[in-house]
Amino acid sequence: MSRFLASIAVTLKPTVNDPEGLTIASALHNLGFAGVAGVRSGKLFEVAIEAASADEAQSLAEDMCTRLLANPVIERYHCEVGEEDPEEG
Amino acid sequence: MSRFLASIAVTLKPTVNDPEGLTIASALHNLGFAGVAGVRSGKLFEVAIEAASADEAQSLAEDMCTRLLANPVIERYHCEVGEEDPEEG
C-alpha cells in the first residue's frame, strides 16, 4: 500500500447562482481591481489515501465525491491524484 | 486586453488545526472509506481578469490574495493563470 494525495476541486455548475462569488467580485472592485470580470467560488479538499495504486486512489476519490463531497445536482468535481509530498507531513 | 482565468487555491497552513477536514475524514471512515489517512479543506476561487498579459494577470491575482482572499497568518495560496475557456461562458 502506498499513500496518495487526491486534490479534489468542487465547484458550482456554470448555470448555478453564486452569491459568494458575486460578493467577492464586488469587494475586489471596491479595492480597485477594475479588471475583475467575475468570480466563482468553490471548495478544495486534499485527501490522503492509502491505496495499492494511483488508479485505485483515483477511483476511491471519485466515489467520495459522489457519496459525500459534492452535490451532483448543482456542483461538479475534479479529482487529481498524485504521490503524497513527504514535506507536507 | 485579453481575458485570463486565475485559479486561486487557498489552504490552511499545515500546522493550523482544521476541524472541517477532521469532520470530513470521520464521515468518510463512517461511509467505509478505511484508506483515508487525512483530509484538509480549503477554498477555491476562479477569477476572470481583463489584463494585458498573463504576467500582469498573475501579479493581479497574487495581489488579490494578499489583500482580500487569503489570511496570510494561517493560510497560504497558490495562483495559476490560464486563458479563459470560451466554453465556460
Q: Where are the domains of chain B?
A: 2-83
B2-83 folds as Mth169; Chain: A , (3.30.1280)
Residue A57 in this model has a pLDDT that exceeds 70: yes
pLDDT exceeds 50 at position B61? yes
| Contact call for residues A47 and A77 (beta carbons, < 8 A) | no
- Whether B86 has a pLDDT exceeding 80, the answer reads no
pLDDT of residue A1: 86
Four-way CATH pick for A2-34+42-84: 3.40.190.10, 3.40.190.80, 3.40.50.300, 3.30.1280.10? 3.30.1280.10
* Local confidence band at B83 (pLDDT 50, 70, 90 cut-offs): confident
Please give the Cα distance from B40 to A85 (Å, whole number): 14
Chain B residues inside the 8 Å CB shell of A75: none
pLDDT at position B89 is 44
A89 — pLDDT class (breaks 50, 70, 90): very low
Band of residue A87 on the pLDDT scale cut at 50, 70, 90: low
Return the residue matching grid coordinates 493560510: B75
Residues of chain B with C-beta less than 8 angstroms from the C-beta of A31: 64, 67-68
> What is this model's ipTM?
0.88
Check B39 against A45: CB less than 8 A apart: yes
DSSP designation for A87: G
Q: Which amino acid is at A53?
A: S
